[in-house]
C-alpha cells in the first residue's frame, strides 16, 4: 500500500491500546536473562570460536605475515589471511557501508584495526592466544589522521549539496548584529554495551547467521553481494540487539569471516569482537569543524544564515552532514550552507545516533546563544522570532506538515522556570558552585522507509505478528503489539510479536528514527488486510466493520473474533511504500531542551543539575518507551557536551582510548533527574499512525543546552567540545 494522501480517521485514533503507557512486553525476558542476544544463541556441540587480529598501522601494506606459530598453537583449527581468502575478485577492497564488506582482501591496509588475520580454535581463549602469535610486518604509507590538516582539501558531500539563497555575503556584511564563530566536535564512538557478535552455521547451501544488527535486510543484501550467493539462501536472525546507536547498521569481520570459516571447516563458528575493535574496526562518528555566521537586525530577525561544516572519512566514505538542520530550522532570506568531506585514514566513519543533527546543533544552537547575547535578547525569544512554518529555502509552496516548535519553547520554558535565569553570566552562586541555565532547540528530520509485516489469527483468538523489524532496546516489541491489538480489538497480552528474522516480511529496521513510524505503518496495512479477510468470512462490509473487545461487529450483528480461526489460522500480509508527501511537506520532529548546571568555581568541574525536554513528535505511540528513548538521548547529549571524545594516536591512526574505562560516557552519578514533556500533536501527513520519529530527537540540541548553561554559569564560552574542566580553567586564566 502506498501512503500518498493524508491519513483520515482510522482505528488507531481510538487509542484504547496505542498511546497508552504499557511497560515493555519483552521486559521480563530481559531481566531474567531469557532474551537471547547474538553471542548467546544455542551453540551446536561442535561450535568453534573466531578471533579477529586487527592491523597495527593506519595506512600502508603488509610486507610479511607469519602464521606458523599460530597454526601450531593448541586447539587451532584455521588461520585466515589475505593469502587464503577469496576476495580478490571484488571491485572495491574497502568495505562499503550497507553494500558489501570483504575482509582480508590483500596486503593493502586502509585503517588501523582493519582485519589482517582471523584465527579459529576450539575455544575463545585458544583463538585469542594464537592470534597474538601471528607476526606481521608493515610498510607504512603516507596518511592523514587529523581533520584540521586536510579540511582545505575537502570536497562537496554528495549527500548534502550546497545550499545558497539570496546574497549571503552582502547581507552578512551589512547586518547590524552578527556572529562569526567556529565550533569543533571530536571523533566519537557509539560504544554499545553489547559487543558486535556473530554465529555462522551452514546446512548445505543454506546459511544461517545469528548476529547483532539493526537492519536485517541490509545485512542479508550485503552478504549476498559479498559472497555472490542468492539472498534466499541466507537467513539472518537478530531478535534482540543490546544497543547499536548506528554502529550496527553495518556488518563487519565477525560476520564475514565467521561465515567463510564455518564453510571451510564444516562446523559453526562464533566470533565476538573484543572491545578495542569496536571503535577501531567498526564505525565511529567523524570529527567536525563548523563555522557559523549568523546576522540579524536589531529586533533579532535573522537576515543571513551561514554554516560551513567539515569532516573526514576513508576514501569514498560519507561525511558528517552537520549543516543539514540549518537548512530548515530557522527563517532568514539570505543563506549559504555547505558541507565538505576530506579523506582521512582513520577507522570508518559512519552513523551515530542522530547523524548530522546531533553535532550540527552543538554548533548552531550555541551560535544562536551568542547572537542572543549580542542582541541583548532572551535566547528563547530569539528562536520564537525566527520560527518559520515553511521550508526557508523553497518558500511557502513547501510548508511544514506540522511544526510546534514555538509551543515547545514556551511550554518548556514555563515548566523549567526559565524566567529565573540571569542573563549576565556568573551571577548565581551556591557555596563554591556557580549556577547557570541554558537552552537549545531540538530538531530531527522525519524519515520513513518501506516496511512490511505478517499477522496471523491463531486458534483461540490470539494474534501473532511477524516482521524483520528489530528491537535495539527501543520498545519495538511493545509498540508493534499495541498497534496490532488496536487494529484487531484485542488486549495487548493477546498479541505475540516476533522480530528480527529474515524469514519474516522485510521491514524498515531500526535506524534514523524511521523504525517505529515505518514498521508500525507496515503492520497497520497488514492488519487492515486481515480485517478485510475476517469481515468477508463473516459476510460483513469491511468498510463499516468494527473490531473491539475480541469481537467483530457489523451494525447490531456480533461474532467472536476467535470464530474466524476455528478451522485454522487466518493470515494476512501488508506493506507500506511512501508517496511524495515528504516532498510536498517538510516533516520533522521538534523540541526544546533546558539545562541547569553547576560549575565549581575552583576546579572548573561541571555538574548537570536539571534537564527538561519539551517534545513534539506526532502521536506518542507509548509514553513509557518514548520517554525512555528521550532519556537515553538526553544522557548521550550530556556525554557529547562534557566528556565523549576519541583520542587519535597520530603516529598510527588508532583511537587510543578504545574501551569503556578510557572512553568516558555518562554514568549514574553524572545524570540528574531528567524530565520529558510530551506535547499533543497528530501529523496526518506522516503516516496512518500520525506519528513521527523520536528516538534521536532526544540527543539533538541537548549538548548545546548544557554548553550554553556552562557559559551562563562560568562566563567561559568554550567552542571546542567536550567542555572539560581544563578548558573552563583556561578560560578563566585568559580572562584574568
pLDDT in tens, 223-238: 999 999 999 999 999 9
pLDDT tops 90 at residue 93: no
Confidence band (pLDDT; 50, 70, 90) for 130?
A: very high
Mean pLDDT rounded to a whole number for the chain? 96
CA distance linking residue 314 with residue 310, whole number of Å: 14
- Sign for the CA dihedral angle at 680, 684, 685, 689 comes to positive
pTM score of the predicted model: 0.97
Cα separation values, 84 from 114, 117, 254, Å: 17, 10, 17
Report all structural domains of the chain as residue ranges with CATH numbers, in order of start. Answer: 2-35+448-581 (3.30.365.10), 38-142+196-273 (3.30.365.10), 288-446+587-735 (3.30.365.10)
Question: 458 near 611, Cβ under 8 Å?
Answer: no
pLDDT digits (tens, 9 = 90+) for 400-440: 999 999 999 999 999 999 999 999 999 999 999 999 999 99
Strands 177-185 and 288-296: antiparallel
- β-partners of residue 50 are 120, 271
User: 26, 370, 644, 696: which is the annotated catalytic residue?
Assistant: 696
Q: Is 696 a catalytic residue?
A: yes
Cis amide leading into 722 (omega within 30): yes
CA distance linking residue 323 with residue 308, whole number of Å: 7
CA distance linking residue 342 with residue 349, whole number of Å: 12
Mean pLDDT of 625-640: 98
Output the CA angle 630-24-634, nearest 5 degrees: 10
| Residue 86: predicted pLDDT | 79
pLDDT digits (tens, 9 = 90+) for 457-475: 999 999 999 999 999 999 9
pLDDT tops 90 at residue 95: no
CA distance linking residue 470 with residue 477, whole number of Å: 8
Amino acid at each position: 500500500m502506498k501512503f500518498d494522501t493524508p491519513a483520515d480517521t482510522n482505528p488507531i485514533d481510538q487509542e484504547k491500546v496505542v498511546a497508552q503507557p504499557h511497560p515493555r512486553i519483552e521486559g521480563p525476558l530481559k531481566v531474567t536473562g531469557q532474551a537471547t542476544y547474538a553471542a548467546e544463541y544455542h551453540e551446536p556441540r561442535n561450535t568453534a570460536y573466531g578471533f579477529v587480529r586487527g592491523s597495527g598501522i593506519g595506512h600502508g601494506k603488509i610486507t610479511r605475515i607469519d602464521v606458523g606459530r599460530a597454526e601450531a598453537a593448541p586447539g587451532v583449527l584455521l588461520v585466515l589471511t589475505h593469502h587464503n581468502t577469496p576476495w580478490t575478485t571484488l571491485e572495491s577492497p574497502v568495505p562499503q557501508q550497507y553494500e558489501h564488506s570483504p575482509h582480508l582482501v590483500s596486503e593493502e591496509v586502509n585503517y588501523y584495526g582493519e582485519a589482517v588475520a582471523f584465527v579459529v580454535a576450539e575455544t575463545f581463549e585458544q583463538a585469542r592466544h594464537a592470534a597474538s602469535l601471528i607476526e606481521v610486518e608493515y610498510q607504512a604509507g603516507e596518511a592523514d589522521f587529523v581533520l584540521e590538516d586536510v579540511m582545505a582539501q575537502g570536497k562537496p558531500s554528495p549527500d548534502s549539496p550546497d545550499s545558497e539563497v539570496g546574497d549571503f555575503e552582502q547581507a552578512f556584511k551589512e547586518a547590524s548584529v552578527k556572529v562569526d564563530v567556529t565550533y569543533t566536535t571530536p571523533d566519537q564512538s557509539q560504544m554499545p554495551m553489547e559487543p558486535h557478535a556473530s554465529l555462522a552455521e551452514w546446512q548445505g547451501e543454506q546459511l544461517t547467521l545469528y548476529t547483532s544488527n539493526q537492519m536485517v535486510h541490509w545485512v542479508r543484501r550485503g552478504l549476498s553481494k559479498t559472497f555472490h550467493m542468492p539472498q534466499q539462501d541466507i537467513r539472518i536472525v537478530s531478535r534482540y540487539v543490546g544497543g547499536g546507536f548506528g554502529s550496527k547498521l553495518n556488518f563487519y569481520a565477525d560476520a564475514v569471516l565467521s561465515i567463510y570459516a564455518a564453510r571451510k571447516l564444516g562446523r559453526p563458528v562464533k566470533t565476538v569482537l573484543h572491545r578495542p575493535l569496536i571503535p577501531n574496526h567498526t564505525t565511529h562518528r567523524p570529527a567536525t569543524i563548523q563555522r557559523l555566521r549568523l546576522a540579524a537586525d536589531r529586533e533579532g530577525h535573522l537576515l543571513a544564515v551561514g554554516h560551513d561544516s567539515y569532516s573526514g572519512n576513508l576514501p569514498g566514505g560519507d561525511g558528517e552532514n552537520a549543516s543539514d538542520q540549518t537548512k530548515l530550522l530557522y527563517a532568514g532570506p539570505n543563506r549559504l550552507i555547505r558541507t565538505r568531506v576530506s579523506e582521512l585514514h582513520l577507522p570508518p566513519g559512519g552513523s551515530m545516533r542522530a547523524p548530522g543533527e546531533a553535532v550540527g546543533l552543538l554548533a548552531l544552537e550555541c551560535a544562536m546563544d551568542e547572537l542572543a547575547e549580542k542582541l541583548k535578547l532572551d535566547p528563547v525569544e530569539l528562536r520564537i522570532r525566527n520560527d518559520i512554518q515553511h521550508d526557508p529555502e523553497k518558500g511557502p509552496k513547501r510548508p511544514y506538515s506540522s511544526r510546534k516548535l514555538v509551543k515547545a519553547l514556551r511550554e518548556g520554558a514555563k515548566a523549567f522556570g526559565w524566567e529565573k535565569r540571569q542573563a549576565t553570566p556568573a551571577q548565581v552562586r551556591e557555596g563554591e558552585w556557580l549556577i547557570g541555565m541554558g537552552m537549545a532547540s531540538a530538531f530531527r528530520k522525519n524519515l520513513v522507509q518501506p516496511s512490511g509485516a505478517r499477522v496471523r489469527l491463531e486458534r483461540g483468538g490470539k494474534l501473532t505478528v511477524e516482521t524483520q523489524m528489530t528491537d535495539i532496546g527501543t520498545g519495538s516489541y511493545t509498540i508493534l503489539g499495541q498497534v496490532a491489538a488496536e487494529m484487531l480489538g484485542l488486549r495487548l497480552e493477546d498479541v505475540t510479536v516476533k522480530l528480527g528474522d529474515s524469514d519474516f516480511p522485510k521491514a524498515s529496521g531500526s535506524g534514523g528514527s524511521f523504525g517505529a513510524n515505518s514498521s508500525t505503518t507496515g503492520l497497520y496495512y497488514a492488519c487492515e488486510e486481515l480485517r478485510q479477510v475476517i469481515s468477508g468470512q463473516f459476510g460483513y462490509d469491511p468498510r463499516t466493520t468494527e473490531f473491539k473487545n475480541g469481537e467483530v461487529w457489523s451494525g447490531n450483528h456480533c461474532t467472536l473474533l476467535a470464530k474466524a480461526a476455528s478451522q485454522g489460522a487466518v493470515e494476512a500480509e501488508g506493506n507500506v511504500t511512501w508517496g511524495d508527501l515528504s516532498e510536498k511537506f517538510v516533516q520533522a520532529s521538534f523540541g526544546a531542551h533546558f539545562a541547569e548546571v553547576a560549575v565549581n568555581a575552583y576546579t572548573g568541574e561541571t555538574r548537570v543539575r536539571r534537564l527538561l525536554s519539551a517534545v513534539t513528535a506526532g502521536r506518542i505511540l507509548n509514553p513509557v518507551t518514548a520517554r525512555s528513548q528521550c532519556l537515553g538521548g538526553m544522557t548521550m547529549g550530556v556525554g557529547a557536551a562534557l566528556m565523549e571524545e576519541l583520542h587519535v594516536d597520530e603516529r598510527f591512526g588508532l583511537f587510543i582510548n578504545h574501551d569503556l574505562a578510557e572512553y568516558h560516557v555518562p554514568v549514574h552519578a553524572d545524570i540528574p533527574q531528567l524530565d520529558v514533556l510530551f506535547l499533543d500533536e497528530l501529523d496526518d501527513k506522516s503516516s496512518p499512525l500520525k506519528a513521527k520519529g523520536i528516538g534521536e530527537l532526544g540527543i539533538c540540541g541537548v549538548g548545546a543546552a548544557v554548553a550554553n548553561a556552562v557559559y551562563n554559569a562560568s562566563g567561559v564560552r568554550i567552542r571546542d567540545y567536550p567542555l572539560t574542566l581544563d578548558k573552563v580553567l583556561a578560560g578563566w586564566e585568559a580572562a584574568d
